[in-house]
Structure formats: C-alpha cells, structure tokens
Amino acid sequence: MNFCIQTRIIDRQPSRFRRAIAIGCAAVTLFASTATLADQILKDSYLELEQRLLLPTDLNGGGSLLGSSPVQNAPGSVYALGFEGPSQYDAASFSRNFIPPDTMGAVGKTQYMATTNGAYAVYDKATGTQLSLKSDVAFWAAAGQTGANGDTRILYNAAAGRWVAVSFGASVSDLQIAVSNTDDATGSWQSVKFTGYAGGVADYPTLALDKNAIYIGTNNFKTGCSPSNPAAQTFCGTTLNVIPINSLFNAGAPSVTNMKQFVTPYVPGSSTNVDRGFAQQGVMGNPLNGTATIVANSAFIGDNLTFKVNGLTADSALGGTLTASTYLGVNPLVDAGAARQPATIAANQRVIDALDQRISSSVYEAQGKIYTVQTVDGGMDYARVRYTITDATTNAILDQGDIGTGTYDYYQGSIAVNANGDVVIGYNRSSLDPTTGKIGFYARTFRTDPVTGKLIPTGQEILLHESLTNDYHNGSLFGQPAAGRQRWGDYSQVSIDPNNSDVFWLIGEFAREYNLPPDHPGGTGFSRWGTWIASIDISSLTATVVPEPATWLLMIFGVGAFGFVRIRQRRSAVFALPA
C-alpha cells in the first residue's frame, strides 16, 4: 500500500548525536540574553507538521467502537463517567485520516468538546451522548476560515462562558483562533487569523489563558536559518503570542487588537542566542495582576526554565516585557525511548513514540505553586511521567517525582490542579506483559501538602480505558512489522469542571481495533487510534489521605549535586552547532 505524506513535507537531515552536558542541580545560574551558546548543543527537536501522515481514505468510512458502551459507575465512585471521543474512523469518514490524533479537549458547563487531527466533537457531559461531529475543515469554515492543518488546542473560559480554539491556518505560517458566541459549543463561532511565523511554520502552538490574556507559544521552522545548511527546514526559534483577553472575548468578533509577539530567534553558532525553551506553555490560573508566567523545557540542556511577561492588561499587551529566563534546576531530564507493548511480532514490541521531554500539555498554578508534567527516561530505559512543583514567586522546587514502576512505560502525561491543591494526572501506560501490557489510558489523584508543597497520593492508579489491540502500529498492515516512525499523542489534557472543582475531566489516546473485515467490510487493514474521555470526582478522596502505595517510585537525584546526563536525540531534524 502506498502512502502519501502531506505536500508540505520538506526533506531534512536528522541529527545523530548524544552529548554529555553538566547540569548544576543546586544553583543554576540565570541565562541572560548576552550568554554565549556557541559551545552548547541544541537539543534535537522535530517539526510536528512534517510528521503528520495522511493515510488512504478507508473504503468503509467510519466505524463504531466494538463492544463498548459509556462507563457509568455507581454513585460515590471516583471514576464517574467514561466514553469514546472522536476516533480515526471519524476522521477518515471526512477524508481527514491523520496520525497522530493530537488528542485535546476541555469541559464546559454542560458539554465536553474534543478535537483531533481531522474531527471535532461535542458531548453532553452528563451522559456522554454525542451532540455534534464534524470535520476540522467544516468547523473552521463555519467560523469563517478556510482549511485546517491540525495541532488544535481548545479551552473553556468559565469567566466569559465561551470556548476558544487555536489551530494552523490554511497556510502553516498562520494561526487561527475561533471563539464561540455562547457557552454552547454546537452553536455559532467567530474567528480571526494572524501570521504566526512569516514564510515558515508556526509549529506546535500551545494555548493558555488567565484574566489578562491568551498565550500561544510556537516553535518556528524555516529554510535558511542554518548557515551551514540553508536549504534545510530547521528550528529558527520561538514566538510567544500574547493577545489581550478583551480582544477575543468582546461583544463582537474576536480580534488580535493590541496583541504583542515576542520572537526569540535561534542562529547556530551565534553568541547572542537566548534560551526561551521549546514548546512554551503559559500558566493557567496565574493570579497576578499584569504579569504572566511562562514555563518551557530548555532548548539546550536537560532542564526546565521559566520567565515572566510583565506590563499586561486585559485590553493591551503592547506594554508587555519579558524577564530573563531562569533555569529551575530540576532533576536531570533525558528523553525516553520508545514505549513497549506486548505485540506478537517481536519487531513491534517497542515502537510507540513516547515523544520527548517537552512540556506538551497545560501548566497550572494554584496556591502560589506551579505544576508541570513531562515524559522522561526515569532510569533503566523506561519512560516515566515526571511531575515538578515550583514556588511561583521564588522558582524554588518544592517537589519532583516520577509516576511509573517496574517494567512499564508511562508517557503522554497531562495535569490539572484546582484551587484547593487537588491534583489529577492522566497518562498512557504499557509494557511487554501479555496480560496487563496493552496501551491503557490511566489516571492518578493527589493532594498538595499545604506546608511542604509535596504531592500526596490519594488513591491507586485508575484504568480509564484499555486499547483494543496489543499491537498498535501505523503505516503498515495488520500482522506486518511496523513501518516508519510510530507517532503517538502528541498530547493529552486534564481540565476542571467549571461547576464543581472536585470533578476533573481527562482525554487521552488509546489503540482501537484494526480496520479489518468482518467488523469493517472493505477495510484497508490498518490500525486506528481512538480517544477516550473520562471524568473523575475526587470529593470522596480529599478528606482522607491513603498511604503511598508500594508501587510508587520517587527518583531523588540529590539537589546540590552536579552530574552529567546524556541528552537523547529528539527524533527529528535539526542540527548540532558548528564546532
């Protein structure tokens, strides 16, 4: 079977390197704009758009989830409701058959809206009943834009009672924002488009909001950025787009009036490069007047960094300024390898791309603490979901830990925290175990110790949904070895119910059944992704803290020690700085 990559793919030369980098864990110095980076290695990062594979359209169109019905648990159960979100079968029915799904969703007052590459859907959050399903192209056309190329993110603004979504435009240089006219996601939307990165790709757009602004970070790719390889499309830096919240959520159509774009270029070998990170995430729930906090994974070393945007109002970002970046000194970060699954064919047992150490989903602030999760190598070559809690004022690390145990891989994590410091983390888990190793969508619950700021588990691991096959691989047929890069994710999401802060909503990816007869007459024989939406009510957990389970592992590296860490290559293109 022949496949076609989207025509925007540009050939590139992937970097092949691992470099030891010394990281100070106790006192990490401020990385000022005049710092020399010529002796640093840019961590390998990949262009998301290039990797999006468009498969042939299925002959039989969509399909229903075999043997499945919504999970409606008994009153008092932590796992309150679970149901399937949009799947690759849905996307294929619109001839929008992409991998990976870029799983994303948010909860509103009465609805849950889920978006993927190719298909958007709205559900009644009380029952899981699907209220609307349409292609991404149809959604944006109704909102006033043409085309959609994926990487959608969505949030619900409870204060305004309206939804906001961001996606690539018809040109991948552009970003488009849609805002609902009411709190009904099935109703009408209006939109605005702006240039994210002229002449290149405004890749991997993030999305966050607070009472001042909407924050959209992009990783910028373009030809001509590398003097040594000017024909290649390489990483050119980042842009943080700050849009006043009143410009989007006003009485009329949304606009980008008084928006400010903070561009941080990257030039190989330059002595003026500044590290603003990779996949910049605005902090959700930032309570400071006129100030926003941005968190990102460093573009150069195995650490996270933060900086602030000052001088903001709800009407204008034009007076905004950036502080210098501060490294947080987290436990050294190393990219995880491919995740395992119990496939019958040995060649397919370790092919699932767990992504890299970027902070891929929302960052939250509550009670003066900032919470992040990311996927890392937790030791012994197993993927772990690492959480980090920092003091929002001093940047001091209050807690770090890994979700993961034994020979299982944990990846694609996302987090949300309510005003009381209750935390829910969603993630995928898999292993080679033939009984329990299928890729599953899981969750853990915690509360934050008000004195120490450390996370205390409030329950055991919750299986939200298990994959329907033990051998997920895209780009090749059932029973064959996996072909090409096995994209997964690229993210999941946890959001807080605006009606009840004890209820958390999660969305993540799972592997559906292969598209094969007799269940799918005329099917092409390829694997298919699905998404799963679940709600967890933690009200019964907040009063009693259970002991930490024996399966819980915390990796302590010894703050104050200096170590060396090998930075795994990020599995795509950029380059090393010239010697």
Confidence (pLDDT) at 410: 98
Q: Domain for residue 428, yes or no?
A: yes
pLDDT value for 67: 45
| Sequence-ordered list of residues with C-beta below 8 angstroms from that of 72, at least 6 positions apart, any chain | 81
Neighbours of 298 (CB within 10 A): 24
**Tell me, what's the pLDDT at 97?**
87
Q: Which domain holds residue 501?
A: 338-556
CA distances from residue 496 to 42, 122, 229, 287, 295 in whole angstroms, order as listed? 36, 17, 46, 17, 20
Segments of the chain with pLDDT less than 50: 1-39, 59-62, 67, 543-579
Supply the pLDDT for residue 76. 64
Length of the chain: 579
Question: In this predicted structure, what is the pLDDT of residue 542?
Answer: 56
pLDDT for 439: 98
Report if residue 542 sits inside a domain. yes
Q: What is the pTM of this model?
A: 0.87
Q: Which pLDDT score, from 0 to 100, does residue 546 have?
A: 42
CA atoms within 13 A on the CB side of 144: 14
Residue 516 lies in a domain: yes
Q: Indicate the number of domains in the chain.
A: 1
Residue 513 within a domain = yes
Query: Is the Cβ–Cβ distance between 531 and 133 less than 8 Å?
Result: no
CA distance 464 to 70: 11
Q: Give CA separation, 44 vs 19, 35, 571, in Å.
A: 11, 20, 7
Q: Is residue 165 part of a domain?
A: no
Q: How far is CA 282 from the centre of its chain?
A: 13
Q: Give me the sign of the Cα torsion angle 7, 11, 16, 19.
A: negative
Do the domain assignments include residue 454? yes
What gap in Å lies between CA 304 and CA 326, rounded to an integer? 9
Q: Is 385 within the bounds of a domain?
A: yes
Determine, yes or no, domain membership for 483. yes
